[in-house]
Amino acid sequence: MEGFSRRSWLRLAGVASLLGGTFWHRTPRPSAQGHASSSNDYGHAGHSLGTVGRVSADRFNPMTYLRSWNFAHLPPAERQKFYRETPRPDGSLLREYEIFAVDREIEIAPGLFYPAWTYNGEVPGPTIRATEGDRVRITFLNQGRHPHTMHFHGWHPPDMDGALDAHQVLPGEQFIYEFDAEPFGLHLYHCHTVPLKRHIHKGLYGVFIIDPKTSRPPADELIMLMNGFDTNFDNDNEIYAVNTVANYFLTEPIRVTVGRPVRIYLVNVTEFDLVNSLHLHGMFFDVFRTGTSLVPHDNTDTVMLCQGERAILETTFRYPGMFMFHAHQSEFAELGWMGMFQAEGARRET
């Protein structure tokens, strides 16, 4: 096969062994970044941690997704096409969004492509972020080949729920969702078309953050969405991840600063499994369940979330160095849900 080098075959074989042989792929393409020169290159043998090779970050970059909301990662002129904010007399904002559903193939592990249904071409969809009391107006255009909706968690009238037969947005049609942002907390949105598990699992979900009117203390804010992919359509996931790409943060650690507070917006959208979890090595964090309280519910090193459940986690790194984080379900961790923090800065004086 043209362009199918022994090296790329070995790379694919690594993915195959990771997936127990139940993988689905198209012709592999060379990674733009190469794959042999990382200090975190675990990919020499099937028994080592992680996937082998790199996923192209040209179309979706899990690291950019981690710290972006309201399309802030786009240049201003481009951003204006998808997001506008207008002050209102009471001091709040009208926030307007352009969201479209489109079918698109995404790369979820090196050389492993998945035929996704997406919001704005990305899985997860764009993070929508407002302040309590703002007005949110979303123009949703369905450019996919199936009926879809946007169902938001949060207060809204029933005709904005995007869940009933009458709410279905057919291919080529559009609908405007409009509601006040409340309550403050960490929420999500997803398609609510039957069969629900297929419409959600195909990739139609995203994070919806509502900030309290008095904002939370400054922190390095990170959006982590736990998801999985059923690549052979047997109603079980072959790949697990945080922010879609298996093991992305294992080879590209999340850089954080010692002594600077970190706030993680953790959302679980994993289909087919009852629960998912996050475990952080070497430290503890405060847990604010659903983010609806400013007083933590727990201080722990492992948080477990049901599908659709979410929590805000707050902590501060004490020591420089590498800190692993992963699902505490070992199976999920070994199938891609594992990453690293790289804490930088001087050791805190005690």
If the CB atoms of residues 204 and 343 are measured against Cu ion, the closer one turns out to be: 204
List Cα–Cα distances, 103 to 47, 65, 230, 241, 270, in angstroms. Answer: 35, 19, 16, 20, 20
Q: Determine the Cα angle at 292 with ends 290 and 298, to 5°.
A: 65
Position among 54, 95, 199, 310 found at the interface with Cu ion (CB under 5 A):
199
The nearer residue to Cu ion, 129 or 199, going by C-beta atoms, is 199
Q: How far is the CB of 148 from Cu ion (least distance, A)?
A: 3
Q: CA 195 to CA 200: how far, in whole Å? A: 9
Q: Which residue's CB is nearer to Cu ion, number 193 or number 237? A: 193
Residue 201, interface with Cu ion (CB under 5 A)?
no
| Residue 116 near Cu ion by CB under 5 A | no
Q: Is 156 near Cu ion (CB under 5 A)? A: no
- Considering the complex, state which of residue 61 and residue 193 has its C-beta at the smaller distance from Cu ion: 193
Name the minimum Å distance from CB 194 to Cu ion: 9
Tell me the C-alpha distance between 285 and 348, whole Å. Answer: 18
Q: Which residues lie closer than 8 Å to 62 by C-beta, 6 or more apart? A: 242, 243, 244, 245, 248, 249, 252
- Residues binding Cu ion: what is the number (CB under 5 A)? 5
According to the binding rule CB under 5 A, does residue 245 interact with Cu ion?
Answer: no
Closest distance to Cu ion from the beta carbon of 204 (Å): 5
* Encoded tokens for 70: 């309201």
Q: Is 193 in the site for Cu ion (CB under 5 A)?
A: yes
Q: Which is nearer to Cu ion, 95 or 199 (CB)?
A: 199
Angle at the Cα of 24 from the Cα atoms of 172 and 241, rounded to 5 degrees: 80
Token pair for 339: 């990453």
Residues of span 18-77 touching Cu ion by CB under 5 A: none
Omega cis (within 30) before 76: no
Please report whether residue 148 would count as binding Cu ion according to CB under 5 A: yes
193 versus 315: smaller Cβ distance to Cu ion: 193
Per-residue interface string for the shown chain with Cu ion, residues 246-285, x marking contact by CB under 5 A: ----------------------------------------
- Using alpha carbons, list the distances in angstroms from residue 160 to 152, 153, 306: 8, 11, 25
From 45-53, 193-201, 294-302, 310-318, span contacting Cu ion (CB under 5 A) = 193-201
172-191 footprint of Cu ion as x/- string (CB under 5 A): -------------------x
- Whether the CB-CB separation of 46 and 4 falls below 8 Å is answered with no
Using DSSP's 3-state secondary structure scheme, residue 266 falls into strand
* Residues lying near Cu ion in the complex (CB under 5 A): 148, 191, 193, 199, 204
